[in-house]
């Protein structure tokens, strides 16, 4: 694992997230930024993907269940070279392939259209069941938000994955502790997370979602034939000092000037 | 081909067994109702291709999506009330928005669910499904048509299909050699100037009504409008152009169902006959046997005949 490369990619994702959301004038920076290391790790290390063929049949599948973090997904697709960096600036614009929430029919590389929270894990289960049924070795990764865990369908799906022993499925929870209305603990408590997943029949591991070494450890946890959930402790807005840990930046765009300042600061490092 | 009465859900079960044999990509999902929805026979014969998702309809629909993404052909089944109401957002955002080729084969639709009562009688499912962009909505009139629809649905790869199936046995109404085609209606009994356009269990009632009215000298043609979406607007316009009275009949709310679909299609016509819509008015169902409910909600052959008689006499009087 080339940690320096992954770190560099994570910063590239942050740059594209800030620029694209600022250009759009709306979007969700907080929960996109908290995923930068996780998406860098998935797209540049963990998942088997083709360098140039986004629809490579043998690829692993990554589903972004928390679809409002679309900017980090588009940034990852751009970082992989599947789309151009320039195209990320069309985010949320009329006629763009980069819809406010990911649309698989518009943009290749989007494995599933998401946005209405709570639905991605069920879809990931179906994909994992289908791949297994056909004897395919591909893995399925699904990224959930911690606030999203308040949706009941997640727990229906959690039962299904354990019941069918989906060992080819890994869920990642972006545990940043914030949602639109404030602290997740104050809005509606989702803790204890690991115990919940465990009691639903999953293998669980808690990691630092901004540490590549810790992500590696988490994703390589012995699962003994069960689905694995990587509970990744993250900081919402990570990497942009004034956004870190501030719920207001869940769904508010930075100004173009703020985005430019951020890019300049990155370049200065 | 079955001649004796058969519930459309039973025909669904038969068709799945055929598909199990001919289509290795077909997978079936249920939400703890496999004995009722008739997916149980498929489950017994092809256990590795059957997934019971338990009492979790949202998860049922989402899992079906994933199986479609894996390039399998999923049939997701539960009662119509749950498939279309409980899981509406999943059907909208996970199935229909990405145009995934999931077949939603929903049973126990309409009033004729019977004793389970209003909470379980989906009388709004056609309305809910047909407004979804790209969703096809098919309502078989008998077992033979249901069988053909399921086989046809397995070959639809462009997007989702909603097939509305019933609990009660219905008599055979489609003609010998009938072939179901999406977007095509079938004229079952010719004879202007009254046209009764029906779907599902109401087709048999409409045919019976036409027989009764014929003895009184009122001639009706009966149209089985089983493909509600896409709607056979060509045939509908042709029928409207040659008829003096149109009546629609469905075991569904008047609002948003077959009658609404026909009215929407015909509204643009400069001259058209009056369109009388028969269905459930703005109320929920209740417990009772299927035949009692059709009687109570005025949806029997006698009621269709009476409705035609009243409106026809008004037209003649004018």
Q: Decide which of B125, B145, B170 is a domain's last residue.
A: B170
Q: What tens digit of pLDDT does each residue of A175-222 get? A: 999 999 999 999 999 999 999 999 999 999 999 999 999 999 999 999
CB distance B62–A129 less than 8 Å? no
The token duo for B15 is 């068709």
Q: How far is CA A221 from CA A163, A188, A200, A205, A224, in A?
A: 20, 29, 18, 7, 9
Instruction: Report if residue B234 sits inside a domain.
Output: yes
Rg (CA), chain B: 19
Contact yes or no for A31/A240 (Cβ under 8 A)? no
Q: Which range marks the domain in which residue B63 is found?
A: 6-170
Find the CATH number of the domain harbouring B210.
3.40.50.920
Contact yes or no for B273/B267 (Cβ under 8 A)? no
The residues, ordered by sequence, that sit 6+ positions from B135 with a Cβ below 8 Å of its Cβ are B91, B96, B129, B159, B160, B161, B162, B229
Model pLDDT, residue B269? 92
Instruction: Give the pLDDT band (50/70/90) at residue A231.
Output: very high
- pTM for this entry: 0.97
Count the Cβ atoms, other than its own, within 10 Å of residue A94.
5
Instruction: Report if residue B38 sits inside a domain.
Output: yes
Looking at chain A, how many residues does it have? 269
CB distance B63–A123 less than 8 Å? yes
B63 plus B195 within the same structural domain:
no
Q: Decide which of B170, B197, B219 is a domain's last residue.
A: B170
B161 plus B190 within the same structural domain:
no
CB distance A122–B62 less than 8 Å? yes
| 3-state secondary structure (DSSP) of residue A174 | strand
CB distance A129–B70 less than 8 Å? yes
B23 plus B159 within the same structural domain:
yes
User: DSSP letter string over B49-85?
Assistant: GEEE--S-HHHHHHHHHHHHHTT-EEEEEEEHHIIII
Q: How far is A119 from chain B (nearest CA, A)?
A: 6
**Strands B227-229, B136-138: parallel, antiparallel or unpaired by DSSP?**
antiparallel
Contact yes or no for A138/A59 (Cβ under 8 A)? yes
Q: How far is B104 from chain A (nearest CA, A)?
A: 15
Residue of A nearest to B60 (CA): A122
The residues, ordered by sequence, that sit 6+ positions from B139 with a Cβ below 8 Å of its Cβ are B126, B163, B164, B199, B200, B226, B228, B250, B258
Contact yes or no for B247/B308 (Cβ under 8 A)? yes
CB distance B56–A124 less than 8 Å? no
B146 plus B222 within the same structural domain:
no
CB distance A123–B53 less than 8 Å? no
Count the Cβ atoms, other than its own, within 10 Å of residue A151.
20
Q: Decide which of B116, B141, B170 is a domain's last residue.
A: B170
Beta bridge partners of A64: A143
Model pLDDT, residue A49? 98
B155 plus B254 within the same structural domain:
no
Q: How far is A69 from chain B (nearest CA, A)?
A: 17
Q: How many folded domains does chain B comprise? A: 2
Model pLDDT, residue A269? 79
The token duo for A250 is 């869940």
B39 plus B65 within the same structural domain:
yes
B225 plus B307 within the same structural domain:
yes
Strand ranges inside chain B, DSSP E = 6-7, 26-30, 50-52, 73-79, 103-107, 136-138, 161-164, 169-170, 186-189, 194-198, 220-224, 227-229, 245-253, 275-280
Instruction: Report if residue B297 sits inside a domain.
Output: yes
Chain A residues within 8 A of B65 when measuring between CB atoms? 112, 122-123, 126
B194 plus B310 within the same structural domain:
yes
Instruction: Report if residue B73 sits inside a domain.
Output: yes
Model pLDDT, residue B12? 98
B66 plus B134 within the same structural domain:
yes
Strand ranges inside A65-216, DSSP E = 140-145, 169-175, 178-179, 182-183, 203-208
Count the Cβ atoms, other than its own, within 10 Å of residue B3.
10
Give the CA count within 13 Å in the CB-facing half-sphere of A247.
12
Instruction: Report if residue B179 sits inside a domain.
Output: no
Chain A residues within 8 A of B98 when measuring between CB atoms? 103-105, 112-113
- How far is it, in rounded angstroms, from Cα B28 to Cα B18? 13
Q: Where are the domains of chain A?
A: 3-268
Average pLDDT along chain A: 97
Please give the share of chain A, as a percent, with pLDDT higher than 90. Answer: 99
User: DSSP letter string over B159-208?
Assistant: S-EEEE--SSEE---SPTT----TT--EEEE--SSEEEEE-TTHHHHHHH
Find the CATH number of the domain harbouring B143.
3.40.50.970
Q: How far is CA A195 from CA A164, A187, A203, A223, in A?
A: 20, 20, 10, 16
The token duo for B259 is 């009658």
Instruction: Report if residue B176 sits inside a domain.
Output: no
The token duo for B149 is 């629809």
Select A3-268's CATH number: 3.30.450.20, 3.40.50.970, 3.40.50.10860, 3.40.50.300.
3.40.50.970
B148 plus B254 within the same structural domain:
no
Residuewise pLDDT in 10s, chain B (318 residues): 447 899 999 999 999 999 999 999 999 999 999 999 999 999 999 999 999 999 999 999 999 999 999 999 999 999 999 999 999 999 999 999 999 999 999 999 999 999 999 999 999 999 999 999 999 999 999 999 999 999 999 999 999 999 999 999 999 999 999 999 999 999 998 877 999 999 999 999 999 999 999 999 999 999 999 999 999 999 999 999 999 999 999 999 999 999 999 999 999 999 899 999 999 999 999 999 999 999 999 999 999 999 999 999 999 887
Q: Touching check for B134 and chain A: CB below 8 Å?
A: no
Model pLDDT, residue B316? 87
B44 plus B157 within the same structural domain:
yes
Q: How far is A106 from chain B (nearest CA, A)?
A: 9
| N-terminal to C-terminal alpha carbon distance within chain A | 23
Instruction: Report if residue B45 sits inside a domain.
Output: yes
- How far is it, in rounded angstroms, from Cα B118 to Cα B127? 17
């Amino acid at each position: 694992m080339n940690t320096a490369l992954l770190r560099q990619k994570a910063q590239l994702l942050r740059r594209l997230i800030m620029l694209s959301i600022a250009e759009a004038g709306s979007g969700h920076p907080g929960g996109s930024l908290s995923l930068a290391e996780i998406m860098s790790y998935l797209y540049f290390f963990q998942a088997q993907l083709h360098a140039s063929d986004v629809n490579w049949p043998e690829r692993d599948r990554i589903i972004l269940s928390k679809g409002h973090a679309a900017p980090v997904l588009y940034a990852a697709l751009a970082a992989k070279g599947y789309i151009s960096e320039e195209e990320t600036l069309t985010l949320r614009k009329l006629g763009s392939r980069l819809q406010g929430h990911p649309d698989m029919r518009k943009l290749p590389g989007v494995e599933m259209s998401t946005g209405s929270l709570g639905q991605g894990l069920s879809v990931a289960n179906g994909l994992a069941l289908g791949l297994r049924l056909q004897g395919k070795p591909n893995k399925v990764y699904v990224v959930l938000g911690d606030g999203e865990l308040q949706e009941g369908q997640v727990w229906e799906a959690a039962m299904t994955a354990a019941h069918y022993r989906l060992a080819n499925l890994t869920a990642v929870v972006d545990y940043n502790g914030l949602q639109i209305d404030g602290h997740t603990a104050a809005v509606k408590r989702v803790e204890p997370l690991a115990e919940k997943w465990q009691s639903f029949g999953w293998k669980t591991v808690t990691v630092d979602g901004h540490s590549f070494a810790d992500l590696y450890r988490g994703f390589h946890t012995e699962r003994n034939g069960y689905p694995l959930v990587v509970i990744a402790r993250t900081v919402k807005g990570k990497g942009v000092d004034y956004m870190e840990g501030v719920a207001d930046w869940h769904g508010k765009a930075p100004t173009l000037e703020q985005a430019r300042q951020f890019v300049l600061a990155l370049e200065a490092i | 081909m079955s001649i004796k009465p058969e519930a459309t859900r039973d025909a669904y079960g038969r068709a799945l067994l055929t598909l199990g044999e001919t289509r290795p990509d077909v997978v079936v999902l249920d939400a703890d109702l496999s004995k009722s929805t008739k997916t149980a026979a498929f489950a017994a014969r092809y256990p590795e291709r059957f997934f019971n998702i338990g009492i979790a309809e949202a998860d049922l629909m989402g899992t079906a999506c994933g199986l479609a993404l894996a390039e399998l052909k999923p049939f997701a089944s539960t009662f119509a009330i749950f498939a279309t109401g409980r899981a509406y957002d999943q059907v909208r955002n996970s199935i229909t928005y990405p145009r995934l080729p999931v077949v939603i084969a929903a049973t126990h639709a309409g009033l004729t669910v019977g004793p389970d009562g209003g909470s379980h009688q989906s009388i709004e499912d056609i309305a809910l499904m047909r407004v979804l962009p790209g969703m096809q909505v098919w309502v078989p009139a008998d077992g033979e048509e249901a069988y053909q629809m399921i086989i046809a649905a397995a070959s639809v790869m462009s997007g989702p299909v909603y097939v509305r199936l019933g609990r009660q046995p219905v008599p055979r109404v489609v003609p010998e050699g009938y072939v179901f085609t999406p977007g095509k209606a079938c004229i079952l009994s010719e004879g202007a100037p009254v046209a009764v356009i029906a779907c599902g269990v109401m087709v048999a009632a409409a045919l019976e009504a036409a027989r009764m009215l014929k003895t009184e000298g009122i001639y009706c043609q009966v149209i089985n409008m089983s493909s509600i979406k896409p709607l056979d607007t060509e045939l509908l316009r042709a029928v409207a152009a040659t008829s003096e009275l149109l009546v629609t009949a469905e075991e569904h709310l008047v609002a948003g169902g077959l009658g609404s679909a026909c009215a929407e299609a015909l509204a643009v016509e400069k001259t058209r006959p009056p369109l009388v819509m028969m269905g459930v008015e703005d109320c929920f169902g209740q417990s009772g046997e299927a035949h009692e409910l059709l009687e109570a909600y005025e949806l029997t052959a006698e009621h269709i005949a009476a409705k035609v008689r009243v409106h026809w006499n008004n037209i003649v009087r004018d």
